[in-house]
């Protein structure tokens, strides 16, 4: 496995934004290889609850931090991070001091050809983060041309979405990552040596659609809001503009920022109290980190501090 697979992105910056105090209770909402969780425990966290929908991440995580699971300092949960407030309540855990989210596919998943997330090595077209439900091949072989094109436009921002969708339908059945990449390249007129490979956008789009990643992010941010105590901190690392826009909008709205009015539309007034404050400016990787971990190049960290205001959305009974 490559070095990048073991390197948590923006690790120091995420830890700094969480301002972890001795004995704090924290959530690593995207456990992956356990990099953030290990760092949280190393700087004094009393307990870390790690979430991941990928059963491989949970299984491998049992041995990542020696004795932490046995001692009760690390609890691993095979679940989506959007369910964190429900799971914490079921386990009798009160509001937490900090939450870290690292959005998107993990390096471990990318580096395993059999998971089908990348076209760098040939493998089955799977792309399922949770390893259950329909695969990417199922979607591409069963959806109609219009639906595939819409997914490529919405989640890959692909300008040739219709042409690529038409080519995919014509080439069915599509079963392998190398096969899909070749279809996309031909449809997009790709030539070897071009700066960017058009297959990247298609793979991103199909993966996001298949795993409902943007819906999960929106729901996860709301779950984090419900799970943090006053003064608790939320740190979110994103890897492309679709994710970053959602996080930016969430923090803007939850911190009392509303779109400015104009002569055509009166200024909007938010009747809700801000649930976050001290929203930090976005942070990108340093040149040093980029040199050691090229996969971090598109990463962006946004963070903020929870206020004492009631959560905007609280399904069922709220936790105190």
110-128: per-residue pLDDT in tens?
Answer: 888 999 999 999 999 999 9
- Range(s) within the chain of domains with CATH label 1.10.150.170: 131-210
Q: Which tens digit of pLDDT belongs to each residue from 281-313?
A: 999 999 999 999 888 889 999 999 999 999 986
Q: State pLDDT tens for residues 174-204.
A: 999 999 999 999 999 988 878 889 999 999 9
Higher local confidence (pLDDT), 71 or 215: 215
Give the Cα separation of 11 and 66 in Å (integer): 20
Average pLDDT rounded to a whole number, residues 116-144: 96
Q: Tell how strand 228-238 and strand 300-306 pair up.
A: antiparallel
Q: Are strands 276-277 and 74-78 parallel, antiparallel or unpaired?
A: unpaired
Convert 130-168 into a string of H (helix), E (strand) and C (coil): CCCCCCHHHHHHHCCHHHHHHHHHHHHCCCCHHHHHHHH
Does the 131-210 domain belong in CATH 1.10.150.170? Answer: yes
E strands, the chain, where? 25-28, 47-52, 74-78, 96-102, 228-238, 276-277, 300-306
Residue 162 CB coordination number (10 Å): 17
Angle between helices 11-18 and 35-42 (to 10 degrees): 50
pLDDT of residue 5: 44
User: Quick one: CA dihedral 97, 217, 14, 273, positive or negative?
Assistant: negative
For the chain, give every residue range classified as CATH 3.40.50.150. Answer: 3-108+213-306
Gyration radius of the chain over CA positions = 21
pLDDT of residue 285: 96
pLDDT at 6: 59
- Best CATH choice for the domain 3-108+213-306 from the list 1.10.1040.20, 3.40.50.150, 3.40.50.2300, 3.40.1000.10: 3.40.50.150
Buried b (16+ CB within 10 A) or exposed e, 109-132: bbbbbebbbbbeeebebbbbbeee
SS3 70: coil
Res 2: pLDDT: 35
pTM: 0.90
Task: Give CA–CA dist 238/298, Å, rounded.
Answer: 8
- What is the sign of the dihedral through the CA atoms of 270, 272, 277 and 283? negative
Give 4's pLDDT tier (boundaries 50, 70, 90).
very low
pLDDT, position 320: 37
pLDDT on residue 263: 57
> What pLDDT, on a 0 to 100 scale, did the predictor assign at position 67?
81
């Amino acid at each position: 496995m490559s070095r990048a697979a073991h390197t948590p992105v923006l690790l120091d910056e995420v830890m700094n934004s969480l301002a972890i105090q001795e004995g704090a209770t924290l959530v690593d909402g995207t456990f992956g290889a356990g990099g953030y969780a290990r760092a949280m425990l190393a700087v004094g966290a009393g307990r870390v609850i790690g979430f991941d929908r990928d059963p491989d991440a949970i299984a491998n995580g049992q041995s990542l931090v020696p004795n932490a699971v046995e001692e009760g300092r690390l609890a691993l949960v095979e679940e989506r991070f959007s369910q964190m407030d429900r799971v914490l309540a079921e386990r009798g855990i009160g509001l937490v001091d900090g939450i870290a989210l690292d959005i998107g596919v993990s390096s471990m998943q990318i580096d395993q050809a059999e998971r089908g997330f990348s076209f760098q090595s040939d493998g089955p077209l799977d792309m399922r983060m949770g390893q259950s439900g329909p695969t990417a091949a199922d979607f591409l072989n069963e959806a109609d041309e219009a639906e595939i094109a819409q997914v490529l436009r919405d989640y890959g921002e692909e300008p040739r979405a219709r042409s690529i969708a038409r080519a995919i339908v014509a080439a069915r059945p599509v079963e392998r990552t190398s096969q899909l990449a070749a279809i996309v390249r031909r449809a997009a007129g790709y030539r070897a040596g071009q700066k960017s490979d058009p297959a990247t956008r298609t793979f991103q789009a199909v993966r996001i659609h298949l795993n409902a990643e943007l819906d999960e992010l929106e729901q996860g941010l709301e779950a984090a809001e419900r799970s943090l105590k006053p003064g608790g901190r939320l740190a979110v690392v994103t890897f492309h503009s679709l994710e970053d826009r959602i996080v930016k909008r969430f923090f803007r709205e939850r911190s009392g920022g509303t779109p400015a009015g104009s002569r055509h539309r009166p200024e909007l007034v938010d009747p809700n109290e801000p649930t976050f404050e001290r929203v930090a400016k976005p942070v990108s990787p340093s040149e040093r980190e980029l040199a050691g971990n090229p996969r971090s190049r598109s990463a962006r960290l946004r963070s903020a501090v929870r206020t004492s205001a009631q959560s905007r959305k609280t399904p069922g009974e709220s936790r105190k």
